[in-house]
Structure formats: structure tokens, C-alpha cells
């Protein structure tokens, strides 16, 4: 069995995903450093950790001493220098290739012991991010799912140059963080979005063509296919803008127009109906 040989995990970006990744790393016993360029985001992240760990104790899912120990393992850092000695960096900043490439180029010069450089991107090519470094063999995708403490999967994505030993250590780390890690290769959408997003897109086409109303369409997929949530409800949860963006990534990356976002999906995004986060998407959440 491969050991991960990791004791310190650095997370860059303390938003929805980075905050969750830092939390599970600390709970699993890793020294954890969270860096964000926005101090307000770091403060929010710290407050969320306090709230979620307190709730875990109240619900009897964790001992007070373990929650205190997990909190004590987390360092919140406004300077990226704090990440330099970590054994792995997991980057979870905005989904923008140029921002990620510049962070990886910088990390490449800062982290000189061959440490693992992982990205939580959901749609950008690992190979493209790795190409911004001189050491692409240590760059890998570590794709967590939202909400991180709840979702079991980490999709581990090999770039073109990723060293198999780095993949094995990354899988071992994800397992030590309490997740199930499954490998995939670096093609547009990896596995999860490659399979899920065209199905969601098809649900918009079916709605647009009047095959069924959204409640019925989702009900049919839930009861008939044993889905926990219908595809249109799931699209609202993910964000309709994110769904449309990922379809465009699939269309570009797989070089096929059949992956383009459904016109109705695009129209809702244009109208500002982005799903849960804007209060309305396919469904209306303004009263809930």
C-alpha cells in the first residue's frame, strides 16, 4: 500500500470549496494552512469552521476535544509564503485558467522539495495548468464535490505528465481524509461533468420542447431512475451559469457542437436566474 507521506496540507482559496477541504484535512489530523488573497474571505472561512465544528459537537458527531484539536491545527494565512513548506498544496481559487496558471507558476518556484501541486478545478485542463510550471509531473487534479464534508468522492485527475507515484500518493491522501478516490484522465469534463452535464442539458431541452413541466420532469427522473434529486433541481443547486459554462467547456474540449448549452439554459442565465444562489432558477426559492 502506498503511503501519502504527508503531514501538512496547504489550501489556496478559502471559499466554499477551499474552506470545506481545509476543514476535513484538519479533522483528519493534518496540519492545515488556508491561504486566501481576500482577508474577508479568510475571516468568513474561520467563522464557518467554528460554526460547523460546534454543530458537529452539538449533534454528537464529534467530541469537543477533537473539534478543538481540529481548529488548533488550522492556520489562516494572508501571505502565500505560509504554504511553502507544506507537503501538498490544494488550489481552490476562482475557476479561471489564467489565475490558476499564474498561481501554479508561482508555487513551482516557491515549493522546491517536489511537493504535490493539486488543483480542485471542475473544468479546466490539468495539463494546461501543469504547463505553467517546469515540473508538470507533480501537478494533479483533486476534484472534491460540494458540500465537501458530506460528499464521499474525490475524482483524481492525471494530467498528461502526471507521475503515477504522485497519483498514488494523492489517492492515499484523499482516503486518509475520509474520501473515496477514483482516478480519471484529463479530458474535458473528466468523468463527473462529462456524464452529468449533458444529462442536465438534455433535461432543459425536454422542458423547452414541452415534453414535461419541470416538477414532473424531475419527479419522473427521481422515481423512475432512483435519483435523489431531479436534474433541473440539481442544476439550480449547482448554478445555471456554472452548468452553461461547463457545457461550453465540453463543446470546446470535445470539439462538438452537440455539447453546447440548451438555448433555454442560456436564456435563464441571461435573465439572472442562476438557481439557489440568486433565489430563482428553474424553481423559485424566494419564499423558502
Name the residues that contact ligand NAD, by CB under 6 A.
12-18, 36-38, 41, 92-95, 99, 103, 120-122, 144-146
Catalytic annotation, pick one of 14, 125, 155, 158: 155
Task: Find the shortest distance in angstroms from Cβ 280 to ligand NAD.
Answer: 19
CB of 38 to ligand NAD, least distance (A): 4
CB-wise, 36 or 186, nearer to ligand NAD?
36
Q: Does residue 4 carry a catalytic annotation?
A: no
Q: Least CB distance from residue 121 to ligand NAD, whole Å?
A: 5
**HSE of 197, CA atoms in CB hemisphere, 13 A:** 29
Nearer to ligand NAD, 8 or 206 (CB): 8
Give min distance, CB of 93 to ligand NAD, in A.
Answer: 4
Active-site residue flag, 155 = yes
Whether 278 is a known active-site residue: answer no
C-alpha dist (Å) from residue 122 to 87, 93, 174, 185, 277: 23, 11, 17, 13, 18
Residue nearest to ligand NAD (CB): 15
Select 19 or 62, whichever has its Cβ closest to ligand NAD. Answer: 19
Q: Which of 14, 120, 122, 125 is catalytic?
A: 122
Active site residue: 35, 123, 143, 201, which one?
Answer: 143
Complex with ligand NAD: residue 97 or 212, whichever CB lies closer? 97
Q: In whole angstroms, how close is the CB of 5 to ligand NAD at the nearest point?
A: 25
Q: Would residue 122 show up in a list of annotated catalytic residues for this protein?
A: yes
Nearer to ligand NAD, 43 or 216 (CB): 43
Query: Active-site residue numbers?
Result: 122, 143, 155, 193
Amino acid at each position: 500500500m502506498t503511503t501519502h507521506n504527508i503531514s501538512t496540507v496547504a489550501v489556496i482559496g478559502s471559499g466554499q470549496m477551499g474552506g470545506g477541504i481545509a476543514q476535513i484535512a484538519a479533522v483528519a489530523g493534518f496540519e492545515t494552512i488556508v491561504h486566501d488573497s481576500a482577508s474577508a474571505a479568510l475571516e468568513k472561512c474561520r467563522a464557518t469552521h467554528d460554526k460547523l465544528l460546534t454543530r458537529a459537537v452539538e449533534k454528537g458527531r464529534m467530541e469537543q476535544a477533537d473539534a478543538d484539536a481540529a481548529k488548533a491545527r488550522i492556520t489562516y494565512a494572508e501571505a502565500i509564503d505560509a504554504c511553502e513548506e507544506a507537503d501538498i498544496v490544494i488550489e481552490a481559487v476562482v475557476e479561471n485558467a489564467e489565475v490558476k496558471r499564474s498561481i501554479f507558476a508561482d508555487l513551482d518556484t516557491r515549493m522546491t522539495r517536489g511537493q504535490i501541486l493539486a488543483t480542485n478545478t471542475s473544468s479546466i485542463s490539468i495539463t494546461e495548468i501543469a504547463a505553467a510550471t517546469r515540473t508538470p509531473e507533480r501537478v494533479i487534479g483533486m476534484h472534491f464535490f460540494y458540500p465537501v464534508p458530506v460528499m464521499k468522492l474525490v475524482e483524481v485527475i492525471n494530467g498528461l505528465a502526471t507521475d503515477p507515484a504522485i497519483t498514488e500518493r494523492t489517492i492515499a491522501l484523499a482516503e486518509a481524509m475520509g474520501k473515496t478516490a477514483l482516478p480519471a484522465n484529463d479530458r474535458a469534463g473528466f468523468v463527473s461533468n462529462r456524464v452529468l452535464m449533458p444529462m442536465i442539458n438534455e433535461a432543459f431541452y425536454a422542458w423547452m420542447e414541452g415534453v414535461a413541466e419541470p416538477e414532473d420532469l424531475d419527479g419522473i427522473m427521481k422515481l423512475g431512475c432512483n435519483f435523489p434529486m431531479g436534474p433541473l433541481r440539481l442544476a439550480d443547486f449547482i448554478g445555471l451559469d456554472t452548468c452553461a459554462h461547463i457545457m461550453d467547456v465540453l463543446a470546446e474540449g470535445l470539439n462538438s457542437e452537440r455539447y453546447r448549452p440548451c438555448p433555454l439554459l442560456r436564456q435563464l442565465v441571461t435573465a439572472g436566474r442562476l438557481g439557489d444562489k440568486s433565489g430563482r432558477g428553474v424553481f423559485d426559492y424566494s419564499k423558502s
